[in-house]
Chain A
Amino acid sequence: MSADLVSTLQARFPRLAPRPSADHPAVNAPLEDLVPLLRCLRDEHGFDLLTDVTAIDWAPGASPRFTVVYHLLSTTRAGAYVRVAAPCAGPEEAPVAPTVTGLWAGADWHERECYDLMGVRFEGHPDLRRILMWDGYPYHPLRKDFPLAGIETELPAEDVAAETGARVVAAPMAGGPFVASAGEINLTEAEPRAKDESWSDRAPQPGHTPLRQVKE
């Protein structure tokens, strides 16, 4: 079935290429073909549910740096699932892709999330705001060049920041992120927590002074 679908689509969109996939069929498409291809899949192949919109960051300097991926599911044909990938246009730091909110209303929040975390701008989106991080956050945290611990910035609210002196700080990773190491038989040593020696009674959390209360 998968080969049928890809070859049927290739007959109509000659610039499509099959995309390596372990399970369901997947295609690479140029950005110009993306919306007509998704419309064709929705209207003629029964893929009526857009389950996810994600993006891949191929690392800084790569060309193209970002690829958007659309996951489609059919609610009428059992087990039918397809992924469509397309490289983004635009400069490296501000990738651009067309919106599919005109095809699936549910694409709205998927694209907002994708914009929030990866920084892909979806052209024509009715309300492209951040959805998880707060408005005004200066970074896109799931990009490859963003550290997991975060980058020091201001708190979302100035009044609270002024009163408490709190800032958004990089989380102390203490050598992490901690993942179990492969090949170790001793589970006590292989487990992530065994390697974490920070924040104990003897070694307090770095740069941290708890607020003291002044009662009444």
Chain B
Amino acid sequence: MVTANTELGYNSKVEGGVIVSRADAAINWIRTNSMWPMPMGLACCAIELMAVGGARFDIARFGAEVMRFSPRQADVMIVAGTVTYKMAPQVRRIYDQMASPKWVIAMGACASSGGMYRSYATLQGVDRIVPVDVYVSGCPPRPEALLDALMKLQSQVRREPSARRLLSA
């Protein structure tokens, strides 16, 4: 006798302690909800970055409050400020020292494009030396804009084929 299945979703009586899911979903769920930022604060954008870490905007709501000043422990580098040519090699080296998987947010006009500093001393966009995942406009951006960038990065990470990359690595 066939009865209609009225039980939707996970039923612990039927399935016990096992949840079936895609590996990508599980891996990306873990990754997106604890992205530890590397605060690459180079100019005034860093002040807004600090505000994002404070109580009013509270980046902890998105699991990214653990600012790590060691690149070895960081997942996402937030380049907040003007990158000069003198500083550029150091930014790249810190990026190289971060463990994969790693992402980069270019925060503000200067990090994204050189901003108003069109001069001999300023790198015209940090994407010339590190691959950027999310650009944030603004001079400086409001804290909400950085939170939005983090959420955009999270939705981008959710779509990544993480299991395939792990197996092929």
Contacts and interface: CB of A to CB of B under 8 A. Distances in A.
A156 B127 CA distance: 17
Contacts of B129: 160, 164, 166, 211
A215 B88 contact: no
Interface string B60-93: 0000000000000000000000000110110011
A40 interface: no
Contacts of A155: 85, 88-89
Give the interface size class of chain B.
20 to 34
Interface stretch (A10-18, A28-36, A94-102, A141-149): A141-149
**SS class of chain A's interface: helix, strand, loop or mixed?**
loop
Contacts of B85: 134, 155-156, 168
Interface stretch (B4-12, B46-54, B111-119, B141-149): B111-119
A158 B52 CA distance: 36
Contact of A215 (B117, B118, B128, B165): B165
B128 A171 contact: no
B26 interface: no
A160 B92 contact: yes
Interface of A: 132-134, 139, 141, 146-151, 155-157, 159-160, 163-164, 166, 168-174, 176-177, 199, 205, 208, 210-213, 215-216
